[in-house]
Structure 1
Amino acid sequence: MLGLVLLYWIGKYFYKLAEEYNKSPWGFAILGIVVYYGAIVLSGLIVGIVMALTSPETLDNFNETLLSFLLLPFGILSCYLLYKYLEKTWKKNTPDPVELIDEIGKPNEIS
């Protein structure tokens, strides 16, 4: 149940961000969830490989619930980094309305 609430919040924040910058809201909400799961799978593989190389006998007795809580910050961090990257990129590419108002009435210069 906690996982569904987390997925809801991830999707909601990406949805709002995409809506604010006139992008596809559902596409970016799904992208946020996919990035979350992708980061968890990738970090899980890395942790599993490191554990298999260092002490293979611990893999048989390792608690899967503990592993899921261990990988949770990696998924959240990856979503946060993607969110901030998209926000920064879209904010930089958004035209300033004051500059656009100043351009009204000026003849277009075609090169």
Structure 2
Amino acid sequence: MTTTLPEAGPAGMLAGLAAAGYTVEQRGEFAVFDYVIEVGPRSGETVRIGLALVQDWPLSPPPGPHVSPRLGHPEGAVHNSPLGDEWEYWSRPAANWAVDRTVRGYLRHLRTLFSQLESSA
């Protein structure tokens, strides 16, 4: 018997994050997981990422990441998050989504966003 992962909707998004090696907690309409910043001046730091579970995944990506702790983003468009006071929402749609509509593609988008941060010092 072959088991396949769901490919669409919130279940597909959650399965894709788990397959990428993340331990994901579903918090209402969000997938929340620890993320180690891989590039840029904050490389090596661990943050929490919250992604809205998209009903038409993978046709549409999450609208932008929710980040904890609050780090700010040098390009602005940072807002309060419904996940709590320690969280902020970065209004940063995934660039080039039509080219790679996968968790891997979205993680590439996160790497780009974190590479733009300024040093914590």
TM-score range with shorter-chain normalisation?
0.3 to 0.5
Question: Highest CA radius of gyration, 1 or 2?
Answer: 1
Query: Which is strand-richer, 1 or 2?
Result: 2
Q: What TM-score, normalized by structure 2, do the two folds share?
A: 0.32
Query: Which is helix-richer, 1 or 2?
Result: 1
